Amino acid sequence: MTAERKKLSLGAVGERAEERAAGDRTAAWNISPARAEALKERARDQRRNPTEAQKALWERLKDKQCGFTFNREVVMGSAVVDFACRTRWLVVEVGDTEGPSATIAELSDRKLREVGVRVMRFAEADALENTDRIVKAIKDELQKPFEKPAQAGTQARSHAGTQGNAYARNR
């Protein structure tokens, strides 16, 4: 009885690396039920208490005024985003572009982009003073072709029921 000896090879290393990277990109979508509930509560609170800039922009985005449906304060993965157009995988954020909160915002934007969500971020002052210009930029972005990422969508959908992921559940 001679057992055949296994040989080491580099055969599918690239493929395995790609699978690992895809899993890493969607890790932000896997959150505990307690975290999902906390995010849902925070989103609810932010919907009830919007900033002046968010109010101004929402007046221009609600009721399909841009041709697509937007929702306010949506839980996406481990973040709460200001406005989301689920069908076009587009997020619009209004907030600080400087300081410590800007660093956190950049991290959140990077996580969303890694799973294929397009992110547009505007300063509070711009949203109040240049609402027309911002709405035009949003409309232009909505018209651009994009690829809906298969891996992120599959991962998000599989966790929609248990993780409270409203983005994946309501696409």
Residues forming beta bridges with residue 75, ordered by sequence position: 80
According to the model, what pLDDT value does residue 146 have? Answer: 85
Whole-number Å distance between alpha carbons of 43 and 36: 10
According to the model, what pLDDT value does residue 162 have? Answer: 36
Over residues 143-169, the pLDDT tens digits come to: 999 887 765 444 444 333 333 444 443
According to the model, what pLDDT value does residue 149 have? Answer: 73
DSSP codes, 106-151: HHHHHHHHHTT-EEEEE-HHHHHH-HHHHHHHHHHHHHS--PPPHH
Over residues 29-80, the pLDDT tens digits come to: 788 999 999 999 999 999 999 999 999 999 999 999 999 999 999 999 889 9
Pairing between β-strand 79-85 and β-strand 118-122 as defined by DSSP bridges: unpaired
Over residues 93-148, the pLDDT tens digits come to: 998 778 788 888 999 999 999 999 999 999 999 999 999 999 999 999 999 998 87
Domains and CATH numbers, the chain: 14-169 (3.40.960.10)
For residue 99, how many other CB atoms are within 10 A of its CB?
9
